């Protein structure tokens, strides 16, 4: 199976794409300058029209020519619309919004602005209550969108591509959130960056990473770029698609403790689907992890206190992946290694291989779920069976009727969701027994998708 040409993979995101800062508990606004003004204003930038002027009023009929000018005029509560054209400028707000009067910087409705400066595409530092949406950031030297020491920032509905260079010291993530809190990164298409797609680091906490597509990100000269990389505590990674990345689809490394990854779809990545190294307290709930180069769900090193529940993990570590490379590293659809087995709980997971290989690792490796259950007393409600994906050759990993993943989940586990990857409600399939399900709803399906009878 070869990787397909790039196209956006936000299947079903139309139902959940309007993730907003309202889903995140508000934090304390950082000390930053505010501009007092009696009424909010809508400002316009369009460098493609002859009527534009940076000395004009910035109205729809007489817009500013430059993004820098438009941003410099913003006050709390204002909206800036950016029109057609390519702007070699960085969005760098000089004031914050407030909870009652946030600032919005977005595309002019029906238009398609592109920002390709030689620095950051957007640089939001020590600010709060700002939304950046509907823009394309392309070919930036540094991070496409850079958020640092800020709170209540929303980065949503953008396309971010081509950040950095495939040279040591010049790589860059598509979107980075550093030392920030209570913010949202949602419904972005983050692809073909020369570094990780989305990076959350430097103690950032309370960050919701939801509904994004992160694919084909690579440093090129070494295997290091992930779709989503979280190395900070207390964040949520929800309903994302990560695929065809040079390293793992989703990664939690040292510092990334007490995070939740739920209802993500991750496939054809050059290392793991979801990788966890030297981290504690993680919850991996209801993800679909398919055909990654090494173990699909991987928990190793000094990691511990993990819950790995309600996932579907199929054909990992047995086929070439990511540009056709073969991997001889960690094996198993689910791999719990090193010191992790002593404090990790695995249950209600579906595993399956269409060729010979290691089905599971839990301290030791096992070629069948039954052997793993007998040796470890884990996975009491697990199942080894064909998940009956709709069209795995084209990466459609929804469930067909008769799938062993139907009505088999634990809806009571911390992090379980009431709606699936596509925002569809949980549904009880009358043709399927609920004998193996647990929790208040004894019909949640395993993996990211809920079969709709």
Q: What is the pLDDT of residue 437?
A: 98
Residue the block writes with tokens 């990164």: 185
Contacts of 222 (CB under 8 A, 6+ apart): none
- Residue (of 352, 349, 198, 338) closest to 276 by Cα position: 338
Helix, strand, coil content of the chain in percent (nearest 5): 5, 30, 65
DSSP letter, residue 28: P
- On whether the CB atoms of residues 350 and 437 are closer than 8 A, the answer is no
Give the alpha-carbon dihedral of 278, 279, 285, 291, to 10 degrees.
-30
What is 21-38+79-399's CATH number, 2.160.20.10, 3.40.640.10, 3.10.180.10, 1.10.3720.10?
Answer: 2.160.20.10
Give the alpha-carbon dihedral of 57, 63, 68, 74, to 10 degrees.
50
- Whole-angstrom distance, CA of residue 103 vs CA of residue 127: 10
Structure tokens at 255: 């510092």
- Residue (of 15, 25, 26, 23) closest to 187 by Cα position: 15
pTM of the model: 0.93
For the chain, the C-alpha Rg in angstroms (whole number) is 22
- Whole-angstrom distance, CA of residue 239 vs CA of residue 187: 10
Q: Where do the domains of the chain lie?
A: 21-38+79-399
The continuous run of DSSP H or E covering 262 comes out as strand 260-262
Per-residue pLDDT of the chain (453 residues; tens, 9 = 90+): 433 434 454 444 434 443 333 333 323 333 334 444 457 899 999 999 999 999 999 999 999 999 999 999 999 999 999 999 999 999 999 999 999 999 999 999 999 999 999 999 999 999 999 999 999 999 999 999 999 999 999 999 999 999 999 999 999 999 999 999 999 999 999 999 999 999 999 999 999 999 999 999 999 999 999 999 999 999 999 999 999 999 999 999 999 999 999 999 999 999 999 999 999 999 999 999 999 999 999 999 999 999 999 999 999 999 999 988 778 788 999 999 999 999 999 999 999 999 999 999 999 999 999 999 999 999 999 999 999 999 999 999 999 999 999 999 999 999 999 999 999 999 999 999 999 999 999 999 999 999 999
DSSP letter, residue 444: P
């Amino acid at each position: 199976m070869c990787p397909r040409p790039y196209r956006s993979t936000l299947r079903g995101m139309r139902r959940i794409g309007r993730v907003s800062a309202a889903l995140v508990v508000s934090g304390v606004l950082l000390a930053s300058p505010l501009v007092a003004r009696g009424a909010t204003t809508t400002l316009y930038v369009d460098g493609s029209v002859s009527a534009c002027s940076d000395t004009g009023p910035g109205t729809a009929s007489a817009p500013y020519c430059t993004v820098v000018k438009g941003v410099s005029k913003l006050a709390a509560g204002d909206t800036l619309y950016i029109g057609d054209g390519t702007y070699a400028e960085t969005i760098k707000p000089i004031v914050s919004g407030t909870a009652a009067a946030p600032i919005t910087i977005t595309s002019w409705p029906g238009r398609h602005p592109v920002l390709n400066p030689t620095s950051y595409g957007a640089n939001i530092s020590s600010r709060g209550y700002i939304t950046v949406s509907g823009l394309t950031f392309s070919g930036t030297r540094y991070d496409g969108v850079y958020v640092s020491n800020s709170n209540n920032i929303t980065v949503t509905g953008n396309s971010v591509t081509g950040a950095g260079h495939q040279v040591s010291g010049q790589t860059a993530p598509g979107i980075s959130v550093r030392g920030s809190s209570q913010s949202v990164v949602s419904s972005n298409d983050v692809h073909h960056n020369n570094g990780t797609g989305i990076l959350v680091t430097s103690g950032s906490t309370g960050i919701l990473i939801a509904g994004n597509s992160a694919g084909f990100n690579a440093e090129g000269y070494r295997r290091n770029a992930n779709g989503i990389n979280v190395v900070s505590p207390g964040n949520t990674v929800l309903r994302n698609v990560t695929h065809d990345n040079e390293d793992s689809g989703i990664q939690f490394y040292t510092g990334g403790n007490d995070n939740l990854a739920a209802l993500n779809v991750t496939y054809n990545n050059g290392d793991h689907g979801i990788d966890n190294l030297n981290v504690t307290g993680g919850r991996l709930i209801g993800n679909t992890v398919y055909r990654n180069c090494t173990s699909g769900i991987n928990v190793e090193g000094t990691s511990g206190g993990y819950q790995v529940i309600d996932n579907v993990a199929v054909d990992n570590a047995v086929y070439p992946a990511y540009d056709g490379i073969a991997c001889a590293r960690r094996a198993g659809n689910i791999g719990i290694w090193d010191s992790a087995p002593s404090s990790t709980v695995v249950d209600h997971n579906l595993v399956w291989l269409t060729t010979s290989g290691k089905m599971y690792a839990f301290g030791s490796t096992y070629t069948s779920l039954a052997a793993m259950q007998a040796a470890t007393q884990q996975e009491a409600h697990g199942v080894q069976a064909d998940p009956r994906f709709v069209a795995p050759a084209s990466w459609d990993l929804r469930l067909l009727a008769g799938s062993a993943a139907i009505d088999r989940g634990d809806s009571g586990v911390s992090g379980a969701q009431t709606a699936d990857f596509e925002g569809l409600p949980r549904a009880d399939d009358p043709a399927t027994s609920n004998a193996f399900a647990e929790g208040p709803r004894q019909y949640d399906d395993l993996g990211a998708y809920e079969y709709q009878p």
